[in-house]
Each structure stands twice: as C-alpha cells, then as structure tokens.
A = this chain, B = another copy of it.
C-alpha cells in the first residue's frame, strides 16, 4: 500500500542481498537462481527483497553496477586502432570469464521479456561505455585517422556487435583473434 521509505532502509540487508545474488550466479546458471535462494543465502526475509526489487534480474543488474568495474576509461595513445584493440580485447577477456559471461547472458536473456531490465542494461552498462568510445572516435576523426562523414555511434556498433553476436548466438567462441579481424575488415573495408 504505502510505498517504502528509503531513509529507513537497511544497508546491511541490501548488501547481503546483492552479495548473495552474485554468489549464486557464480554457482549455477542465472535461470536456476531463485528469489527464495537469494533470501536464504542472504539471511533475509523474502518481503525485504520484494519491497525493493521487482525481479531477480533487477537485483543482478544493481549488483553489477554497484560493483562498477571501477575506472571505466578508454585509452588514448594517439593510435586509434591500438586503442580500440586494447579496449575490445578487454571485452573479449570479460566475455571469456565464466562468471562475467554468465551475468551478461542471464541479464540479456531476461531483457528479452522485461523491457525495464532492457532499458536498465542499456542505460547503466552499455551507454556509458559506448559514450566513451564515441568520444575517442571523435578525437580520431579530428586527428584525421577516421572518416569524418560517419556517425561514431554507428562505428561503435560495427565494432562491438560481432562480439555480442558470438556471445549470444553461440556460433563461434569469442577470441582475441576476432578483434584483429573486426578491425581489419572495418578499417580498410571489404570492397576490392
């Protein structure tokens, strides 16, 4: 009935819930994690979870953004290709970390039937990183290393989409080699 009062919220319970959710996701596929399991592990009443979160995906999303990978920066050595390679390789490394891959796959799967989660993923995970990459690409455009008549947002998509494609469609493993391939194809073009 009456909405909960955030001022009186227990920070201890909140952390316990986020920690428990992350732990359980490491031990089993995201689909197998339950609200009851999280409550049990966290030593918390179910009501306390339902009071603050609408779904387990929402918990995981907050847990991940809370332990924000920290710095979140984009290298700038002056060599755009080298900078992209190092940043994209970071993503490859993350996708090959079983835990991180599980988080991503689980969240994106949940997003397919939950628009709020989809919006949350874009806003808190994707967009900040895309924006950094766009900034770097704009500098490269001004430096004359990248064509100026292209929308940096489209370039980001062209570069990173193939990584997500393999992660989610399970066609081929995501490897460091793929980064080199993507960069070669997208920079010089496929036209003869």
Contacts and interface: CB of A to CB of B under 8 A. Distances in A.
Interface of A: 29-32, 105-106, 108-113, 115, 118-119, 121-122, 126, 141, 144-148, 150-151, 154-155, 157-158, 160-162, 164-166, 168-171, 181-182, 184-192
Copies in the complex: 2
A169 B169 CA distance: 13
Given A158-B190, A164-B164, 13 more contacts: A32-B113, A109-B113, A111-B170, A115-B170, A118-B169, A121-B169, A141-B192, A147-B192, A150-B184, A150-B190, A158-B158, A161-B164, A189-B190
Contact of A168 (B145, B164, B188): B164
Nearest to A114: B31
A144 B192 CA distance: 6
A159 to B, nearest CB: 9
B119 A150 contact: no
